[in-house]
Amino acid sequence: MTGQPTVLLGVTGGIAAYKAAELLRGFQKAGMEVRVMMTEAATRFVTPLTFETLSGHQVHVGEMLRADSTIAHIEEGNVADIMVIAPATANTLAKMAAGFADNLLTATYLAYAGTVVVAPSMNTNMWRHPATQSNVAVLRERGVYVVEPGAGELACGVYGSGRMADPESIVAEVKYRLQVERKTDLRGLHVVITSGGTREPIDAVRYIGNRSSGKMGAALARGAFDRGAVVHLVKANVDLPRAPGVTEIETPTAAEMYQEVMRLLPETDILIMAAAVADYSVVAPAGGKIGKSHADLSVSLVPTTDILCEVATRKEGKQYVVGFAAEYGMEGLARARDKLERKNLDMIVFNDISRSDIGFNSDYNEVVILTPQGESRVERAPKETIAEIILDHIARELRSRREEFLPVT
Ligand code: CTP
């Protein structure tokens, strides 16, 4: 990509089509060139002339059958650095997931090999419907980026989720994707990321667990894959869409996670332990369900193996190892530094779990990246952004290590 990036904006037939004009202006203000393609249904909400006037280019509409449109789906795709479908209706999302090419826009999507971003927009019940949710999951799995709809009062008068994300959020996502796609600084490296929270069984139905959602690990996995790494995501009890291109392995307990990390270790270049691993497990979990007839009941716990400590003894200096320190309050920063040294890590990412606006289960985080050389504070941001900053740090460190070993000419 040279100079001004070109966005191919696909507009489909939802009430939010009128917001696509503002979105187009947002792309232009961010220094992007915009080409527009509309479905027939979209033209009933906004006329092509609006987009033609704003973009300064002819707008392609509707069916594939028109003589002037027959190769438009290839041509437009070729010039675009990114394709954005906003608003994306339930109907268009379903066609994209199923591979339909029954109009110019869906045909262009199928023929397009670059990055695709969609901004769904529809009535709450349509958005929540399992059919729509599974179509969105399929698209995500194939690498389509979804700018989640927000909650608010919808055109149908109902309050709920389904409203197209704000144009600024869509522009921000597109700017971010254009920049991230260019990074290939982890190409060919084997990255293992743990995520989620382990659950230690007490009996057949109960467990000792924690509130980790696995969102930070998922963002890291996605980011590492985008940068060209071969990624294994070792996850414990995570309920999130699969990350495209990433090999996922389920390890519900600390012992299983330990086994898996050790199995992968010899081939690993970078290990990121973002999981909240239980420090104790139950000595002898009951086979069935413990009833309430006991006068008193105690459960004996034993410490689990500390995966990072075990890695430190086996890693032979090859792997770059990153830990996470979830600490209560900023005074935990000193404890995080202590863990960095005690567990012989290359990096530890500190976050403050006393705050409800970041960390556990939130889409946001605010962290301090600690290395033996120093520390770097990262302001509150979406976990995807935090993941990119962490990966930038790792890639930079690895580059400088490699340079140390380059022959002096
Ligand atoms: N960790 C691990 N194996 C464990 C427990 C934790 O590898 N059995 C990893 C976590 O994935 C995290 C780091 O160690 O990357 C720090 O975890 P944390 O729970 O904050 O630290 P602990 O060593 O368990 O110390 P403490 O609970 O005493 O604060």
pLDDT of 404 reads: 60
pLDDT of 233 reads: 98
Distance 329 CA to ligand 1 centre (A): 16
Which ligand 1 atom is the nearest neighbour of the CA of 339?
Answer: 23
For the chain, give every residue range classified as CATH 3.40.50.1950.
6-179
- Determine whether 309 is an active site residue: no
Q: Name residue 117's amino acid.
A: V
Ranking 46-55, 59-68, 125-134 by mean pLDDT, the lowest is 59-68
Checking if the pLDDT of 159 tops 80, the result is: no
- Residue 339 Cβ < 6 Å to ligand 1: yes
Q: How far is CA 352 from the centre of its chain?
A: 21
Q: Atom 28 in ligand 1: which residue has the minimum CA distance?
A: 279
Q: What is the mean pLDDT of the chain?
A: 90
User: What pLDDT, in 10s, does the model give residues 186-215?
Assistant: 989 999 999 999 999 999 999 999 999 999
pLDDT top residue among 244 and 168 = 168
pTM for this prediction:
0.67
CATH class of 6-179: alpha beta
Distance 319 CA to ligand 1 centre (A): 18
Pocket-testing residue among 307, 327, 340, 350, ligand 1, by greatest number of atoms within 8 A of Cβ: 307
pLDDT-based confidence at 76, cuts 50/70/90?
low
Catalytic hit among 156, 158, 297, 309 = 156
pLDDT of 353 reads: 85
Q: Atom 24 in ligand 1: which residue has the minimum CA distance?
A: 279
pLDDT of 270 reads: 97
Concatenated DSSP letters for 341-406?
HHTT-SEEEEEETT-SSSSTT-SEEEEEEEETTEEEEEEEEEHHHHHHHHHHHHHHHHHHHHHHHS
Ranking 149-153, 205-209, 285-289, 351-355 by mean pLDDT, the lowest is 149-153
- Residue 254 Cβ < 6 Å to ligand 1: yes
d(C-alpha 208, C-alpha 230), whole Å: 32
- Residue 322 Cβ < 6 Å to ligand 1: no
* CB neighbour list of residue 138: distance below 8 Å, 6 or more residues apart: 97
Percent of the chain with pLDDT over 70: 93
- Residue 271 Cβ < 6 Å to ligand 1: no
The pLDDT of 282-292, averaged and rounded, is 94
Q: Are 83 and 116 in contact (CB under 8 A)?
A: yes
pLDDT of 2 reads: 47
For the chain, give every residue range classified as CATH 3.40.50.10300.
190-404
Alpha helices (runs of H) in 129-196, residue ranges in sequence order: 130-141, 167-180
pLDDT of 409 reads: 47
User: What pLDDT, in 10s, does the model give residues 317-361?
Assistant: 789 999 999 998 888 999 999 999 999 999 999 999 888 787 777
Architecture of the CATH domain 190-404: 3-Layer(aba) Sandwich (3.40)
pLDDT of 58 reads: 92
d(C-alpha 301, C-alpha 280), whole Å: 6
Distance 357 CA to ligand 1 centre (A): 22
